[in-house]
Amino acid sequence: MCEENEKRVTTKEGKSMAVSMAVIPTLRGKAANSVLETLSTSKIKPYSPEAKADAEKMINEILQKRDNK
């Protein structure tokens, strides 16, 4: 099955079979500065207990529907 799938994929899809979809060459100048800036100022957003509870409820509902089929 894997051989069939790999033959079927287009060149674009075939390229995405590497673990990483891209590699980053050495950055200089503006590109380097912007990466350093982003990695200084960006922030992982908080995840509230309510959002987590909502997601768990959704997961349970999906799994129950699946089990009831």
Partner 1 sequence: MLHEEKLSSEKHFQSVGDFCCGADSPLDTFLSCQAFKYDEQRYGITYILTASEEEDEILGFYTLKTSGIQVEEDGEYNSIPVIEIARIAMNHSMQGQGIGKYVFYTYILPKIEKVADIVAVKGIIAFVEPDDEQAIGFYTSVGFQKATEDVQKEIEDSFNEKCDLYMVSFDNVEV
Q: Which residues bind partner 1 (CB under 8 A)?
A: 1-2, 5-6, 8-9, 12-13, 15-32, 34-36, 38-47, 51-52, 54-56, 58-59, 62-63, 66
Q: Is 9 left (phi over 0), alpha (psi -120 to 50) or beta?
A: beta
Could you tell me the smallest distance in angstroms from the CB atom of residue 68 to partner 1? 13
Q: Which residues contact 9 (CB under 8 A, 6 or more apart)?
A: 17
Is 41 or 68 the residue whose CB approaches partner 1 more closely? 41
Is 40 or 68 the residue whose CB approaches partner 1 more closely? 40
Smallest CA-to-CA distance from 38 within 26, 46, 30, 48 is with 30
